[in-house]
Structure 1
Amino acid sequence: MRDLDDIDLEILQLLSQDARRPYREIADHVDLTPPAVSDRIARLEEQGIIRGFTLDIDREKLQRDVAIVAELEAKPGAVDDVYTAALELDGVEHVFEGMDGRVLVHATLPDANTRSWLESGVDLDALRGYDVTLLTRTDRRVGISATDFSLECVVCGQTVTGDGVTATVDGEIKTFCCPSCEDRYLTEYESRREAID
C-alpha cells in the first residue's frame, strides 16, 4: 500500500466537502489532469480509504421526525443479535457497539414512542434495559486533515507528528518524523544513485 501524499489528502478533503465534485474541478485544485485525479481516486477506493460515495439525508427535515439515541444494554450472549436487529429498525442512521457490549442506535422516528419502535424489531427479552435520549440537535464532522492518518517515517517507522517533514524524491513524496531522518534518507539515496551512475 502506497503512503498517502499531500495531493491525496487534498483530494479527500475536496470530496468530503462535495462527493459529486467533477474530476476536472478537483484537478484544477491539485494541479493534476482529470485522468490523474481519477487514477488517484480509484487507488484510494482500492485501498479502502474511500468506501463509497453516499447520500447524507437529514431525515428530521423530511417529516419533522424526532431524532433519538437509544442505548441498548444487551444480556450476555445477545449482543450480536441485538446489534443485527437494531440495524433493521426503521429510521436507523447509525449503530455502534461499545467495548462493554452496549449497542447505541442513532435513529429518526415519526413520533417519540420508542418502546413500540424497539419492539418492532428487537427482542426486548434480550435486553437488560435500555435508555433513550431525545436529541435537540446533531452535527457531523465532515472533512479530514493530515492528522487523521497515522503516517510512518520511511526511515525509522515512527508515527509522524506535527514536527514531521516531507521531501519529494523522484516525484514521490516521502514522509519523515524529523529532519535527521530526512537527512539520513537523502544521503543514502544520493549515495546509491551515485553508485548506479
Structure 2
Amino acid sequence: MRDLDETDLEILELLTENARRPYKEIADNVGLTPPAVSDRISRLEEQGIIQGFTIDVDREKLRGETAVLIELDPVPTAVDDVYAAVTDLEEIEGVFEGVDGSIVVHATLPDSNVRSWLASGLNLESVRNYDVTVLARSDRIVGVSATGFGLECVVCGKEIVDGGVTATVGGELKTFCCPSCEDRYVSRYETHRDALE
C-alpha cells in the first residue's frame, strides 16, 4: 500500500463534502484528468480507505423520532454478545465500545420506551445497568482535512510543508521534504537495485 499524497487527501475532502461529485469536477479541482481521478478513487477503495459511497439520513427530521444516547454496562463475559445484538437493532445510528467494556449506542427511536426497544433484540440479563440520555441535538462531523494527515518525508521523517517533492521510484509514488532527500532516496534505491541484479 502506498502512502497517501496531498492529491489523495484533496480528493477525499471533495468526496466527503459531496460523494456524488462528478470525476470531472474533482479533476478540475486537483489538476488531474477524470480517468486519473477514477484510478485514484479505485485505489483508495482497494486500500479500504474509501469503504463506500452512502447517504446520511437524519431520522429525527424524516420521521420526528427521538435521538438518544444509551450507555450499557454489560456483564464482562457478555460484551461481545451485547455489542453484536445492539448492532443488529433497528434505528441504530452508531455503536461504540469503550476499553472498559462499556457500550455506547446512538439511536433514533420512534417512542420513548427504551427498555422495550432494547429487549426486542437484546437479552437484558446480560446488562448490569444502562443510562439513557435524550439528546437535544447531535451532529456527525464528516470530512477529511489535510492538516490531520501531515505527510512525512520518507528519508528524514520531517513533516512536509508547502507540497514538498514527489517522485515515482520503482513504480511507487514517494514524497520528500526537499530535492536533497529525493536524491538520497533515489541513489540508495538504485544502489540496492543494482546489487540485486
Q: How high is the TM-score relative to the length of structure 2?
A: 0.85
Q: Is the 8 A contact 2:151 2:160 kept in 1?
A: no
Instruction: Say whether the 8 Å CA contact 2:69–2:133 is kept in structure 1.
Output: yes
Give the match for residue 183 of structure 2: 186
What aligned pairs does 1:18-167 form with structure 2 within 5 A after superposition?
A: 18-149=18-149, 151-156=151-156, 158=157, 161=159, 166-167=164-165
| Structure 1: runs of 5 or more not aligned | none
Q: Which amino acid is 1:96 matched to?
A: F
Distance 1:191 1:116, change over 3 A: closer
State the Cα distance separating 1:141 from its structure 2 match: 1.3
Q: 1:47 to 1:36 in 2, by over 3 A?
A: same
The aligned length equals: 188
Q: Distance in 2 between matches of 1:2 and 1:29?
A: 22
Q: Secondary structure at the match of 2:7?
A: helix
Q: Could you tell me how far apart the structure 1 residues matched to 2:145 and 2:13 are? A: 7
Deviation of 1:61 (Å)? 0.5
Aligned residues with identical type, % of pairs: 56
Are 1:75 and 1:127, in contact at CA under 8 Å, matched by a contact in 2?
Answer: yes
Q: Aligned to 2:116, what secondary structure does the other structure show? A: helix
Q: Which residue of 2 aligns with 1:13?
A: 13
The one-letter amino acid of 1:186's match is: D
SS in 1 for 2:164: strand
Distance of aligned partners of 1:75 and 1:150 in 2 relative to their CA distance in 1, 3 Å threshold: farther
CA RMSD of aligned residues (A): 2.5
CA, structure 1 residues 129+13, in 2 after alignment: closer, same or farther (shift >3 Å)? same
Instruction: Report the CA distance shift for 1:186/1:85 in structure 2 as closer, same or farther (over 3 A).
Output: same
Summarize the Cα distance change of 1:188–1:47 in structure 2 as closer, same or farther, 3 Å threshold. Answer: closer
